[in-house]
Structure 1
Amino acid sequence: MKRVLTCTVIALVGFAVQAGSVAAVAQEQMKVTSTSQGAAEATKSGIADGASSPDEMGNRRPLYRLRKSDVIEIKFNFASEFDQTLSVQPDGFIALRDMDELYAEGLTVAELRGAVRQAYATTLHEPEVTINLKEFEKPYFMATGAVARPGKYELRGDATVTEGVALAGGFTEQAKHSEVVLFRRISEERTEARVLNVKQMLKAHNLAEDFHLRAGDLLYVPQNVISKIRRYLPTSSLSTYVNPTQF
């Protein structure tokens, strides 16, 4: 009986490790593809000059960009009759008073101010414009997998990956600290994934890869190998063959 149990454990562990290797290779290919496509994406029209590369996982937090349903207040310093409060429509446009519609989704406040000034330059002489965000979606990130409290969290300040995990209640006993995955949406069609070894990062006191979270980021903490096979065999049997501290 003991020999049969040993063979079963070895087979299950081998299967789990093989599956993990395949997943790791797939994640690595995803990163290479995202990196190679990022340069081409940055050259497309619609990305502001001077903006950081869209696939960049650096620490710099980008400026807020307008989204659908955001409410903005436009004020003209010396022509208050043109003051207006507008909402970004489902198609991404705003309906300027006495002007053609202007595409606003994806613009920063500074970029929109420049576009509004240019639009009204045909009517006003060097218009001075102030734009305020009245209502907007609060930035958030998601934490899923082997964390104590999976869910959606408001992104406040310069939160990092490790701080995001802490906000979600920290790792569970089943968490695989060495393969925390950070998913970041680059465009409507592409999402970039980065695998972070948080265990090694904290052990070496090297926080260079403790990336700052951005709005819409998703943190996924996978389970370790032991947790995956524990559902099939009793823990007392596993302890004879596997040392869980290595995961």
Structure 2
Amino acid sequence: AEYRIGVGDKLDVRVFQVEDLSFEELVVDTSGNINMPLIGAVQGAGRTASEMASDIAGRLAARFLRDPQVTVTVKEAANQKITVDGAVTKPGVYEMRGSTSLLQAVAMAEGPTRVADLTKVAVFRSIDGRRSVALFDLSAIRQGRASDPQVLGDDVIVVDTSRLNSALREIVGALPAFAAFAYF
């Protein structure tokens, strides 16, 4: 999935051959917008860079430029938090910058413990306002037999252990397949 712009992200906005409308660094404000000359506030939060570029180009084309070519690039993502729990050395809430993979997230928590079951690593995520979970095999990812998925801000990663609570074990056990998010 393409990265969704968030509050505090730093964006590079370029309008081809129009220096006065090109900016190396615009910060998405707390209301989720950036401000540009001529067109004013442009919604950024919750959108992809290409969606935002299309919006800016459309607004410029409507009144000011003929067929503007606009690119939006996320230069720096604001700090986002993920929770890593279960059988890891240092469970807790961690800040991530930019894209972070599942392996990197577990490494932030100083890796799995000796009692960790690496074949059952659950990633909990909110998708369209509903809580969902996907199960991943971290040992297969480490061996290169499976792809290393990206984790997103507000994800909760739980590395399974024999002491995992029974409610979570039932949810994880009911999943139809690995690496696919399912609602519960």
Q: Is the 8 A contact 2:77 2:98 kept in 1?
A: no
Q: CA RMSD in A?
A: 3.5
Q: Is the 8 A contact 1:141 1:155 kept in 2?
A: no
Amino acid at match of 1:67: G
Distance 1:148 1:193, change over 3 A: same
Which protein is richer in helix relative to its size? 1
How far residue 107 of structure 1 moved from its aligned partner, in angstroms, is: 1.7
Cα deviations by residue, 1:16-66 (Å, 9 ceiling, x for unpaired): xxxxxxxxxxxxxxxxxxxxxxxxxxxxxxxxxxxxxxxxxxxxxx22221
Length-normalised TM-score, structure 1: 0.51
Is 2:11 aligned against 1:96? Answer: no
For residues 8-157 of structure 1, what are the structure 2 equivalents within 5 Å?
Answer: 62-84=1-23, 85-121=25-61, 122-137=63-78, 141-151=82-92, 152=94, 154=96
Distance 1:198 1:104, change over 3 A: closer
How far residue 166 of structure 1 moved from its aligned partner, in angstroms, is: 5.0
How far residue 109 of structure 1 moved from its aligned partner, in angstroms, is: 1.5
Report percent identity of matched pairs.
Answer: 23
Of residues 198, 201, 213, the one that matches 2:150 is: 213
Length-normalised TM-score, structure 2: 0.65
Which protein is richer in strand relative to its size? 2
Is 2:101 aligned against 1:159? Answer: yes
Distance 1:118 1:156, change over 3 A: closer
Distance 1:123 1:142, change over 3 A: same
- Structure 2 portions without partners, runs of 5+: 166-184
SS in 1 for 2:58: helix
Q: Is the 8 A contact 1:143 1:220 kept in 2?
A: yes
Q: Is the 8 A contact 2:124 2:156 kept in 1?
A: yes
Distance 1:66 1:147, change over 3 A: same
Q: Is the 8 A contact 1:165 1:171 kept in 2?
A: yes
How far residue 174 of structure 1 moved from its aligned partner, in angstroms, is: 4.6
Q: Is the 8 A contact 2:76 2:97 kept in 1?
A: no
Q: Is the 8 A contact 1:139 1:155 kept in 2?
A: yes
Q: Is the 8 A contact 1:141 1:213 kept in 2?
A: no
- Matched positions, count: 160
Amino acid at match of 1:159: S
Amino acid at match of 2:124: F
Cα deviations by residue, 1:125-165 (Å, 9 ceiling, x for unpaired): 1222233334322566432122112232647877345x644
- Structure 1 portions without partners, runs of 5+: 1-61, 229-247
Larger Rg: 1
Distance 1:197 1:95, change over 3 A: closer
